[in-house]
Chains A and B, each alone.
Chain A
Amino acid sequence: MTDLSVVVTAHSETVVCGPTMRSADLAVAAARDRGYSVETIIALDGATEETKAYFAQSRFDHWQRWEFAEGDLGRVRNAAVGRSEGRYLAFLDADDLFSENWLAEGVGALQSAEQEGRRVIAHPELNVMFDGGNSVLVHIDQSSPLFTPHFAYLRNYHDSLCLTPREAHVAIPYTSRDIPNGLSFQDWQFSIETMAAGWEHVLVRDTIIFKRRRDTSLGQESSNRRSIVRKLPAMAIDQVEHLARIGRERH
């Protein structure tokens, strides 16, 4: 069985993907050097002609190109999970970058946790935001004394670019609950529902995701997302205290 499926999702991106794909190639090479088998996939979801043409370049021939018409980031990820073979999955948005060590260290962390009998989803230690603002987001994991489940009402603790065992995605697929309103909050919901289901979100030391900061109306979207998050059963006012209990008990 393939150890890892790396899925780059693209819709309308073109040249901005150059650094993305180079970083992915370097990270994949590092993982293979560590002895892991890696499957590489470009998931084109309703891709524009320009995007298709960009990824049609022969320089990407070592990547499989899968076309979808889901029109939704969550659904295309679910679809890609269904077709991929890896025991673990790593998604990458077409304009972001991995640190070179992310895949190798991340898979190593998941394997170590499995050997300890823990159900773990891995995240990089840092998010470095670039292009339109530079800042560093230091992640915290469930076992941190800084962790408080109430924060999950306000922001997503975890970036969507995680490393996840296939079974977590199969058990808790991304949902598209409010597609008519154009809302996309699958990663936030995935984060909450996996925590509620007993998955432990951990950080992998020394690893980074570089996130391109986009010029979108995040404020309104965030507000709408929050109203949906509140309706998740795990976020009910009398349930939220139990969220991520496993990680906190370990602490």
Chain B
Amino acid sequence: MRRLRQRGEQERLQVAPSAPSDLGPVVRERLGWCAHPRLYLAQLTPDERAVLGEEPGVDAVVGHFLATGAAAGLRVSAFFNPEWYDERLAERDLAVPDGEVPFLHWLTVGWDHRIVPTPLFDEAWYLEHHPALRSHPRWVLHHYLTRGCYQPSSQPSPAGRHHDGLADEDAAKRQDPLLLPSLLHRADEHDLRRTSWLEEGVRAVLDRRRRLEDPVLVEMVARAAALEPGIHGPLRAEQPTQVVPHAHPAVRRADEVAAARHALGLGPGDSIDTVVLVPHCRMSGAARISAVVTQAVRATAGPGSVAVVATDLPVFERPHLFPEDVPVLDLTRHLTGLPQPARRDVLLSLLRSVGARRVVIVNSLLGWQLAAEAGAEVAAELDLGAYLFTWEVDEHGHRYGYPVGPLQQSLAHFAWVLFDSETLRTELVERYLMPAVTRERLHFLPTPLADASVDVTGVFERRRASGLPLTALWAGRFDRQKRFDLVVEVARRMPDLRIEAWGKPVLQDIDLDPAHLPPNITLRGVYDGFHTLPLDEVDLLLYTSGWDGIPNVVLEGAQSGLPIVASAVGGVPEVITPTTGHPVEAVDDPDAYVAAIQDLLADPAAATERTRRLRAEVHERFDAEAYRVALTRVLGIQEAR
């Protein structure tokens, strides 16, 4: 009791509290159980957060708290409410001594007196609902702090569970209690150092709950119970109290939808007819497709008719892909901390709130989840559809991806499905024995060529005539699909062939060690648009993917007039044929690529002729205006007047 000061003993001195330099191992351990990085970070300025790095762990946060946060009055634990603690001490006619940090006082003194310092936990209630914990070797609050607050089924308070009851597998590892999203809800309206939306709500519930003990209400219940034995009077202590809506998770969802709508720049009554859902925006064919869809809709229906919503990752590396007057929303910032069903519901509510009449899913995982889980409901309100490019192949060689399970699950709800290659469309029609009524909803749309292009037709012939070193261009992501391992093998088999490789690694599952590449491969780094590559300094385009639709890089190579040696996968043979290029049928065999390159070398004039033919064909077939007309016809979009 040495540090419990009797209230009124002396006036509180206006001294900034400070953390003691040595807490001792017991208090240190308690502090570790209680620290919640996300709550702490929410109270810091961006500059202060930057000091701690992107995702500081518990130790880093505790260190920062002890060094500066405690003195500044910041809260490091969601389960310490300074005013609540003060009130509980006052009930014992006690107070925190001047100059001490209340939280550290609780860890040091209050804990030993088993004072619960938060309205979010009720010791008796917790034991009532989890009777097995009566044998817990420590104070039962310890159980809640270290386990219960991460377990969806925990019942910590008569005011409810304080969250939406869904599990988060990594919550304990991050020390992110399940109630934290509720606690951080409307954070800008509360001084998080003292309280939060959740704590204020729970306090109000507890105040209301005390009303149940009011003699008049007790008497009214008793009289009704005398009439109807199903009514249990007096109201039993274990009856939970529901109150609307202090921490109903959907309240946060509704607020996030309103904020997302605001971020789209919509005013009262504004709507957006077409929404394109993308996972993110980085270098990928899908990103470019989402851009051409957006451009076509914008060109047809006018400004304000279309928006892009990124649903999965907060990565937006290529915003210039989209027309300037098309709103682009990063929805992920409105989904932080929400469990999966809630994320889907936010997306659905957003689509409703913007009055969307059609939604195009372009590789958005959340979009596909929406289609799978609420497709019937959505399809009753708007036209839902997806773009498909290719299936994927896992490390065991099994096919997976959107054209496999997800399509089967959601096809009934899709008004249309769009393909960038006829090959995949045909494969799916035949695989699923689709009747005509279903086939008619599947559309192959030749993706328009890029606006910007460079014509280097004849470069191979000229370079060969002048005896310049034979050079191949390879461009793409260094992931498993793109089969850079084949490029390495080709380089080893053709030491006189220089290979200029452009792109960046995006997956961890490939074994690419730049230090051990053959000397005739040069890694050139990322690029921004095929036309920006030094196309007149190479002889040919080498393409090695193991699976694909009609890849943009092949179309862009064709557009540029480069000879193309390409794996004959997916939709590639729709473009690269023996009369327009050098398709490689044995797609896993490096010798087949070597043979194709040697075939090319054998007759440079024939190679030039093939590139001319290819260039003419793609310009005819992959035309932007034809695409716009076809797309808007399928989607049912009218020309703006």
Interface size on B, residues (CB 8 A): 44
CB distance from A26 to the nearest CB of B (A): 7
Q: Is A40 an interface position by the 8 A CB rule?
A: no
Residue of A125, A126, A150 touching B255 (CB-CB under 8 A)? A150
B217 touching A148, Cβ below 8 Å: no
B245 touching A136, Cβ below 8 Å: no
Binary per-residue interface labels of chain B (184-227) against chain A in the complex, 1 for a CB within 8 Å, 0 otherwise? 00000000000000001100110011011010110011011001
Give the contacts of B254-305 with A (CB-CB under 8 A): 254-255, 257-258, 261, 267-269
Binary per-residue interface labels of chain A (124-157) against chain B in the complex, 1 for a CB within 8 Å, 0 otherwise? 0110101100111111100011101011011101
- A99 closest partner in B (C-beta): B220
Q: Is B248 an interface position by the 8 A CB rule?
A: yes
Q: Is A230 an interface position by the 8 A CB rule?
A: yes
Q: With A153-B250, A206-B214, A227-B377 in contact, is A99–B245 under 8 Å at CB? A: no
Q: Is B246 an interface position by the 8 A CB rule?
A: yes
Q: With A138-B205, A237-B257, A237-B258 in contact, is A145–B200 under 8 Å at CB? A: yes
Residue of B231, B245, B267 touching A210 (CB-CB under 8 A)? B231
Q: Is B319 an interface position by the 8 A CB rule?
A: no
CB distance from A42 to the nearest CB of B (A): 18
Complex CA gap A117/B212 in Å reads: 31
B224 touching A138, Cβ below 8 Å: no
A19 touching B228, Cβ below 8 Å: yes
A146 touching B353, Cβ below 8 Å: no
Residues of B within 8 A of A230 (CB): 352
A151 touching B220, Cβ below 8 Å: no
Q: Is B241 an interface position by the 8 A CB rule?
A: yes
- B228 closest partner in A (C-beta): A19
Complex CA gap A237/B353 in Å reads: 6
Q: Is A61 an interface position by the 8 A CB rule?
A: no
- A101 closest partner in B (C-beta): B220
A154 touching B250, Cβ below 8 Å: yes
A155 touching B244, Cβ below 8 Å: yes
Residues of B within 8 A of A100 (CB): 220, 223-224
Complex CA gap A122/B353 in Å reads: 32
Residues of B within 8 A of A126 (CB): 212, 217
Q: Is B243 an interface position by the 8 A CB rule?
A: yes
B236 touching A134, Cβ below 8 Å: yes
B223 touching A140, Cβ below 8 Å: no
Residues of B within 8 A of A151 (CB): 244-245, 248, 250-251, 254
Q: Is A175 an interface position by the 8 A CB rule?
A: no
Q: Is B578 an interface position by the 8 A CB rule?
A: no
A237 touching B244, Cβ below 8 Å: no
Most buried by A among B254, B269, B353: B254
Complex CA gap A118/B517 in Å reads: 82
Q: Is B230 an interface position by the 8 A CB rule?
A: yes
CB distance from B218 to the nearest CB of A (A): 10
Complex CA gap A135/B235 in Å reads: 9
Residues of B within 8 A of A125 (CB): 211, 217
Residues of B within 8 A of A207 (CB): 220
B232 touching A130, Cβ below 8 Å: yes
Q: Is B242 an interface position by the 8 A CB rule?
A: yes
Complex CA gap A135/B160 in Å reads: 12
CB distance from B245 to the nearest CB of A (A): 4
Q: With A145-B200, A230-B352 in contact, is A128–B245 under 8 Å at CB? A: no
- B230 closest partner in A (C-beta): A131
Complex CA gap A135/B238 in Å reads: 9
Q: Is A116 an interface position by the 8 A CB rule?
A: no
Complex CA gap A130/B214 in Å reads: 20
CB distance from B342 to the nearest CB of A (A): 12
Q: Is B239 an interface position by the 8 A CB rule?
A: yes
Residues of B within 8 A of A238 (CB): 267-269
B227 touching A97, Cβ below 8 Å: yes
Q: Is B240 an interface position by the 8 A CB rule?
A: yes
Q: With A22-B227, A206-B220, A237-B257 in contact, is A135–B232 under 8 Å at CB? A: no
B224 touching A97, Cβ below 8 Å: yes
Q: Is A84 an interface position by the 8 A CB rule?
A: no
Q: Is A23 an interface position by the 8 A CB rule?
A: yes
Q: With A100-B220, A128-B231, A155-B245 in contact, is A148–B251 under 8 Å at CB? A: yes
Q: Is A212 an interface position by the 8 A CB rule?
A: yes
Complex CA gap A207/B273 in Å reads: 49
Binary per-residue interface labels of chain A (142-182) against chain B in the complex, 1 for a CB within 8 Å, 0 otherwise? 00111010110111010000000000000000000000000
A212 touching B230, Cβ below 8 Å: yes
Q: Is A44 an interface position by the 8 A CB rule?
A: no
Complex CA gap A207/B377 in Å reads: 40
Q: With A138-B208, A138-B242, A151-B244 in contact, is A210–B224 under 8 Å at CB? A: yes
Residues of B within 8 A of A26 (CB): 223, 227
Q: With A146-B243, A148-B245, A151-B248 in contact, is A136–B212 under 8 Å at CB? A: yes
A146 touching B204, Cβ below 8 Å: yes
Give the contacts of A35-93 with B (CB-CB under 8 A): none
Q: With A99-B223, A153-B254, A237-B353 in contact, is A136–B242 under 8 Å at CB? A: yes
Q: Is A244 an interface position by the 8 A CB rule?
A: no
Residue of A19, A138, A153, A155 touching B227 (CB-CB under 8 A)? A19
CB distance from B347 to the nearest CB of A (A): 14
Q: Is A208 an interface position by the 8 A CB rule?
A: yes
A130 touching B228, Cβ below 8 Å: yes
Residue of B221, B244, B251, B268 touching A128 (CB-CB under 8 A)? B221
B217 touching A206, Cβ below 8 Å: yes
Residue of B217, B227, B244, B255 touching A208 (CB-CB under 8 A)? B217
Residues of B within 8 A of A148 (CB): 245, 251
Complex CA gap A137/B211 in Å reads: 12
- B258 closest partner in A (C-beta): A237
- B261 closest partner in A (C-beta): A237
Residues of B within 8 A of A144 (CB): 204
CB distance from A237 to the nearest CB of B (A): 4
Q: With A19-B228, A154-B248, A206-B220 in contact, is A135–B377 under 8 Å at CB? A: no
22 A-B Cβ contacts within 8 A? A19-B224, A19-B227, A101-B216, A101-B220, A128-B224, A128-B231, A135-B241, A136-B212, A136-B240, A138-B211, A140-B243, A144-B204, A148-B251, A151-B254, A154-B250, A155-B244, A207-B220, A208-B220, A208-B221, A212-B230, A237-B258, A238-B268
Binding site for B on A (CB under 8 A): 19, 22-23, 26, 97, 99-101, 125-126, 128, 130-131, 134-140, 144-146, 148, 150-151, 153-155, 157, 206-208, 210, 212, 227, 230, 237-239, 241
Shortest 10 CB-CB contacts between residues of A and residues of B = A150-B254, A151-B245, A19-B228, A238-B268, A131-B230, A99-B220, A237-B353, A206-B216, A19-B227, A138-B243
Binding site for A on B (CB under 8 A): 200-201, 204-205, 208-209, 211-212, 214, 216-217, 220-221, 223-224, 227-228, 230-232, 235-236, 239-246, 248, 250-251, 254-255, 257-258, 261, 267-269, 352-353, 377
Given contacts A26-B227, A125-B211, A136-B240, 13 further A-B pairs with CB under 8 A are A19-B228, A26-B223, A101-B220, A138-B242, A140-B208, A140-B244, A145-B200, A150-B250, A153-B250, A155-B248, A208-B220, A237-B257, A238-B267
